[in-house]
Amino acid sequence: MQQEVELQPILNALQKTSPDIEACAFVTLEGEVMAGTTGDATNAFGPMLAKLAARTIETLDDEIDEVVLRGKNIHAVMMGSKAPRLLVLAKADAKLGLLRLEMKRALVTAEP
């Protein structure tokens, strides 16, 4: 629980940097939400993206640092090769380059 207190301000700051971010969360390698800004969406996408990343890693025999799903109305981006991973749900017209930069900064801040 102590880590959740430390991670939440990072998520709040990240969400303030971009109006395109609909929800964000730090998740474990298994996809369990450690801290988040919106429960339902991140709780659903966290495990799904973690499993997708794990299967891709097994298939490619490599380390995956980022998973991006682009939908018609929303993008889901998970970044980080170790815990905590950062999951962001953003509007489809979000500038992914800027979003990825802000996500990397948040991950650096969250490193123990």
The string of DSSP codes covering 41-97 is HHHHHHHHHHHHHHHHHHHHTS---EEEEE-SSEEEEEE-SSSSEEEEEEETTS-HH
Query: Which pLDDT belongs to residue 16?
Result: 93
3-state secondary structure (DSSP) of residue 22: strand
Cα-to-chain-centroid distance, residue 79:
6
In the chain, where the domains are located: 2-110
pLDDT in tens, 45-61: 777 777 777 777 678 77
Mean pLDDT of the chain: 83
Q: Decide if domain 2-110 falls under CATH 3.30.465.10.
A: no
Give the global pTM. Answer: 0.83
Query: Which pLDDT belongs to residue 5?
Result: 44
